[in-house]
């Protein structure tokens, strides 16, 4: 009785960019997310009413630097600058374009963390993409929820301090409920 031959290992394509190391396809995709996220953010900012179209040409190379070197602070500086430009440039207190902008920030941050924690030629763990999708889905749902609450507070004209206090109490209550719910489900059953 013979044992079956081992399954062939999955082939990973590697790409060499100039004189750099070889990069795997997952790393190149993550770099693309890091580079394109500021463009998505700026597009949302322009669609929200800001007039900074020339920022595309200035800030995209900074994103490329952040993608090339995840350990650098260039990426953090880029996002702080973009958020300041958003606050200064977007008119009014509320816009629905803040939802795709927030998702672009979250996607960029997630991709940069994954880039920083993996070897350039290595493959990502099999459970990485489902976890990333689940977490970005959670961020998206929270962002939409906050946007809906902001629109509701704005439409019924509640004073800012009252609305902020009520939203903070609701958020803390939900957080505590979620934490106790998660801790209860993690408990091991007694034998």
Contact between 77 and 62 under an 8 Å Cβ cutoff? The reply is: yes
- pLDDT tens string 101-151: 989 988 988 888 888 776 665 677 778 888 888 888 888 888 888 778 777
Give me the count of residues in the chain. Answer: 191
Please count the helices (runs of H) and the strands (runs of E) in the chain: 6, 2
Euclidean distance between CA atoms 153 and 151, whole angstroms: 6
- pLDDT tens string 54-99: 766 677 777 777 666 777 777 888 888 888 888 888 887 778 898 8
Residue 111 has a CB neighbour count (10 Å cut-off) of: 23
| Positive or negative torsion for Cα 43, 109, 63, 23 | negative
């Amino acid at each position: 009785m013979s044992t079956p031959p081992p399954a062939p290992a999955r082939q990973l394509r590697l790409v060499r960019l100039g004189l750099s190391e070889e990069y795997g396809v997952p790393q190149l995709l993550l770099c693309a997310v890091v580079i394109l996220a500021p463009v998505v953010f700026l597009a949302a900012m322009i669609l929200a009413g800001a007039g900074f179209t020339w920022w595309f040409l200035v800030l995209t190379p900074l994103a490329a630097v952040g993608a090339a070197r995840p350990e650098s602070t260039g990426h953090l500086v880029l996002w702080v600058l973009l958020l300041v430009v958003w606050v200064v440039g977007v008119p009014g207190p509320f816009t629905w374009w803040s939802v795709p902008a927030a998702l672009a920030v979250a996607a960029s941050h997630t991709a940069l963390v994954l880039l920083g924690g993996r070897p350039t030629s290595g493959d990502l763990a099999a459970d990485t993409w489902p976890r990333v999708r689940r977490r970005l889905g959670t961020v998206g749902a929270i962002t939409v929820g906050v946007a809906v609450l902001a629109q509701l507070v704005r439409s019924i004209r509640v004073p800012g301090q009252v609305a902020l206090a009520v939203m903070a109490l609701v958020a803390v209550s939900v957080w505590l409920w979620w934490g106790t719910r998660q801790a209860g489900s993690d408990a091991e059953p007694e034998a």
